[in-house]
Amino acid sequence: MSTRLGLPFAVLLVAPLVLPACGGAAPREPARAVAPAPAAPADASQGVARIRADAEKLAPLVRSELARRFLSAAPSLPAVAPRTLYRDAEKKRVVDADGWSRIPDRDAFKPLPVDEEFYYNTRYSSPLAYTRALEVLGDAGATLSPGSRFFDFGYGGAGHLRMLASLGVHAVGVDVDPLLPVLYGAPGDQGVIPGLSGAAGSLRLLHGSFPGDPTVRAASAGPFDVIVSKNVLKKGYIHPDRPADESKLIRLGVDDATFLGAVFERLRPGGFFLI
């Protein structure tokens, strides 16, 4: 369902649609070029190979050109070498191997092995879960042509943003999960992303409260052609009716009107805000 609400941009409210199972449960200064994607492993049961195989299965089910282009970008995802991160018992602090070796309370941290599947799916889902959102956007007239700018509030994992970047899109994501800036903190995880055909895109990930954190607010300046919040701006996360675990809530750092004002300020005239 889409509505314009008398505003100079479209607001899209998306009802869930079940798709076939697709796997598990920007540049800082200066921008870095990222090497072309290596070939995927032969095993199609996990990681990049699984994403590519699932994209081929999903392709006949989508209608919009935008969703088709997104799925065609699955081969752009590079293979990822296994790495080990370290996380404390409360899951509030995460460090890489180098950071772990330099902190005094190392015993408080447990190893968190990261393979290719976890790198792309994290704890949420396959990057292809964004196919539905992009299908709705495409049906509403969004194109995300090369040079477009895309902002994801609560990105959860970088795979879908990297796929968009390979289509020439400049993709920015923000999240508060302390795992993500470390998971995507190695050289090549962010920066300039070579285009599949033509213009390169870019990937930048921000960590902190949007728009309450001044640093995040400044780094996420618009204009953006599309702003998306998938499975984040929910009443139970923002305004729960009953007592809830603080770690399960999302604190915007501002009131609702200020949040919507920050979204409005970042949208290009005629742009789209999808929830």
pLDDT in tens, 153-212: 999 999 999 999 999 999 999 999 999 999 999 999 999 999 998 899 999 999 999 999
CA distances from 196 to 98, 121, 151, 162 (A): 33, 22, 21, 11
The per-residue pLDDT for 37 is 46
Mean pLDDT on 93-106: 88
Please state whether the peptide bond connecting residue 20 to the residue before it is cis, i.e. omega within 30 degrees of 0.
no
Task: Report the interhelical angle of 131-140 vs 65-72 (nearest 10°).
Answer: 150
- Max distance between CA atoms of the chain, in angstroms, equals 56
**In this predicted structure, which of 24-38, 134-148, 223-237 has the lowest mean pLDDT?**
24-38
- Residue 193's domain comprises 2-18+128-274
pLDDT digits (tens, 9 = 90+) for 122-138: 988 899 999 999 999 99
Of residues 175, 172, 174, the one with CA closest to residue 162: 172
**In this predicted structure, which of 29-38, 158-167, 249-258 has the lowest mean pLDDT?**
29-38
**169: in domain:** yes
Cα(163)–Cα(127) distance, integer angstroms: 9
Q: Which residue has the higher pLDDT, 222 or 31?
A: 222
The per-residue pLDDT for 105 is 84
3-state helix, strand, coil in the chain (%, to 5): 30, 20, 50
**42: in domain:** no
**117: in domain:** no
CATH code for position 265: 3.40.50
**In this predicted structure, which of 34-43, 51-60, 193-202, 212-221 has the lowest mean pLDDT?**
34-43
**99: in domain:** no
CA angle 261, 263, 266 (to 5 degrees): 110
**144: in domain:** yes
**134: in domain:** yes
**149: in domain:** yes
Tell me the pTM. 0.83
The per-residue pLDDT for 10 is 62
**218: in domain:** yes
Q: Which residue has the higher pLDDT, 57 or 252?
A: 57
Amino acid at position 216, single letter: V
- Domain count along the chain: 1
Q: What percent of the chain has pLDDT over 70?
A: 84
Question: Do 206 and 173 form a contact (C-beta atoms < 8 A)?
Answer: yes
